[in-house]
Copies of this chain bind each other. A is one copy, B any other.
Amino acid sequence: MAIYQAPVRDAQFVLHEVLRVQDASNVEGYEDLTDDMTTAILGEAGKIASEVLLPINETGDKQGCTLENGVVRTPDGYKEAYQAQCEGGWPGIDLPEEYGGQGMPYLINAVVGEFASSAAMAFSMYQGLTHGAIKAIEGFGSEEQKNIYLPKMVSGAWTGTMNLTEPHCGTDLGLLRSKAEPNGDGSFKISGQKIFISSGEHDMSENIVHLVLAKIPGGPEGVKGISLFVVPKFIPNDDGSLGNRNTLACGKLEEKMGIHGNSTCVMNYDEATGWLIGEEHKGLRAMFLMMNEARLLVGMQGLSQASIAYQNAVEYAKDRLQGRALDGDKFPDQKADPLMVHPDIRRMLMDAKSFVEGGRAFYYWASILIDEEGKHSDEKAREEAGLLIALLTPVVKGFLTDKGFETAVNMQQVFGGHGYTEDWSQSQYVRDARIAMIYEGANGVQALDLIGRKLPQKGGAGMQTFFGMVKDFCKENGEHEDMAEFCDPLKEASKELQEAVMWFMQHGMKDPNEAAAGSTDFLHLFGYTAIGYMWAKMAKTAQDALAGNADDPAFYEAKLKTARYFMERVMPMTATHLARIKAGGASMMALDAESF
């Protein structure tokens, strides 16, 4: 019953008109990103999303995964859909050609990933996590490890997982108990229990490559003594064929609020054979490489659920006849007007539209920064992009998932009572989107990472870059009468964001709780400003296109109207966030634990 049309036109607008990827010839691979090329890829990816992935999304939710005698079965249709994706070469689209990938920019994977996640979030996680595991092995594994694992993982024949959490520790990895004892032959015996392992066991791939954090006895205490191991389900022979079954197993599938189609496993490692990835005790570095990518991916998941929820709510609001427009019947020949005529329905739809389109631009921009960090020809540009994306990553993750969930909830609201039933998919989008605020570092942890680690990095260089970009844009365009309505609120928000940074500098030094108390508000203030920046850019692009007699003026008019809505209705949140930040931590920390 649910619909999904990949927003190819919107994506193309952002890529080619707003962010002008085709002009970024100094980033390796971007020279191929012509409009024709992306039209072909995104069109095909959109088709798969609608025709192959969407149909299994509801089944996945209703059936969930099952565990029987150690075997996890995915829902009906998952295997076939996964095979179709592998045959199309999608898992390797941005991965190195030497391992069988297509070597395209990360950006393309990001856009294609958004479509897939909108259509079937739980399903697309199997491949999404594999992608991160590949990056960790590629970045830190030995040549031998790369040759054994990467070709199989890039093709999708083998999938990957990441094993951090244990029953008593998630965020606080210093408490980790899993052990890795050297076998003397270069391998280790891995023992311990890991929980919340997404895609930990399933029936879609020949092998599953677990990346596991564990401690080598005798190493340093806490997080400084954590190493990363590759622990395959089946131990590969030298020729790449599958050897012995490793002594690891899924002990339980978690029963969850959503993403039922993804197998969330308790994984038990019982002296399983594993091999060190990178250096001893330096496991967190490799894990963070995976984590950073995963955080962008999760931010995208929030966006993706908002996107599909929005599309379905729009359809419903056009179809469902209920009540009359306040300013006179719109369809006097019908018994009632469609929901769409009611201001409060529009409020929810416009909130959603302006978030989804603005958030998409933000996410694509962040993905370009990943490519620039890795593949820009200029070292200084690489460094600058690296600092900026490090800063923006927690914002992408935290803001797009908080707002993505909120949007899904509002889109469910458009359906009234029908949205609460499981006959429609709006409940699933809400339940699926909910996890994105939690995993890969709960959003509160993102906020702390943002203000405690990313903001002060290199003397605040990333933040300065961001402020500089906004300033330059406003300087260049804000004087135009037509752009003032977009640049003025953006400037205001940017000023507030600067004020917040100053406040943290003045107060956070003396008492870290003062800064931490405002961390989530800061993340949101940053998110609104970043998306406001995107909307100002999109408005400018739309104005230029209209001035140049674009073929489809309605498309650009809609962008302008949506930008206007965002500035008028959404941006006012920034002042509240600033006020809260400046309230400091005293009232937040005042209560004794017993008084709660």
Contact = CB atoms under 8 A, between A and B. Distances in A.
Contacts of A405: 409
A576 B572 contact: yes
Contacts of A169: 322
A442 B175 CA distance: 46
A316 to B, nearest CB: 11
Interface in A436-463: 437-439, 442-444, 447-448
Contact of A343 (B413, B516, B579, B592): B516
Interface string A390-420: 0000000000000001000100110011011
A588 B443 contact: no
A312 to B, nearest CB: 12
A587 B572 contact: no
Interface string A509-520: 001110011011
Given A322-B171, A420-B257, A587-B565, A344 B596 contact: no
A327 B585 CA distance: 12
Contacts of A513: 326-327, 343
Interface string A570-591: 0011011001100101011111
B575 A344 contact: no
A587 B336 CA distance: 24
B314 A596 contact: yes
Given A169-B322, A413-B444, A513-B343, A565 B580 contact: no
Interface string A246-276: 0000000011111000000000000000000
Contacts of A594: 554
A134 B175 CA distance: 58
A403 to B, nearest CB: 13
Contacts of A568: 580, 583, 587
A491 interface: no
Please classify the interface of chain A as helix (H, G, I), strand (E, B), loop, or mixed, using the class held by over half of its residues.
helix
A576 B558 CA distance: 25
Interface residue tally of chain A, by bracket?
A: 35 or more
Contact of A448 (B344, B438, B511): B344
Interface stretch (A141-149, A277-285, A345-353, A466-474): A345-353
B421 A256 contact: yes
Contacts of A595: 554, 557-558, 561
Interface stretch (A13-21, A75-83, A105-113, A422-430): A422-430
A480 interface: no
Interface string A145-156: 000000000000
A257 B422 contact: yes
A159 interface: no
A43 interface: no
B569 A587 contact: yes
A199 to B, nearest CB: 15
Interface of A: 165, 168-172, 174-175, 195-196, 254-258, 314, 317-318, 321-323, 326-327, 335-336, 338, 340, 342-350, 353, 405, 409, 412-413, 416-417, 419-423, 427, 430-431, 434-435, 437-439, 442-444, 447-448, 511-513, 516-517, 519-520, 554, 557-558, 561-562, 564-565, 568-569, 572-573, 575-576, 579-580, 583, 585, 587-596
15 contacts: A170-B417, A172-B323, A255-B421, A257-B422, A257-B430, A346-B588, A347-B520, A349-B596, A353-B596, A413-B438, A554-B592, A561-B590, A565-B590, A568-B583, A575-B579
5 closest residue pairs by CB, A with B: A344-B444, A572-B579, A326-B512, A343-B516, A558-B595
Given A255-B421, A349-B596, 17 more contacts: A170-B417, A171-B416, A172-B321, A172-B322, A195-B417, A254-B421, A255-B422, A256-B422, A346-B588, A347-B444, A409-B434, A413-B442, A420-B438, A561-B591, A568-B580, A569-B580, A572-B580
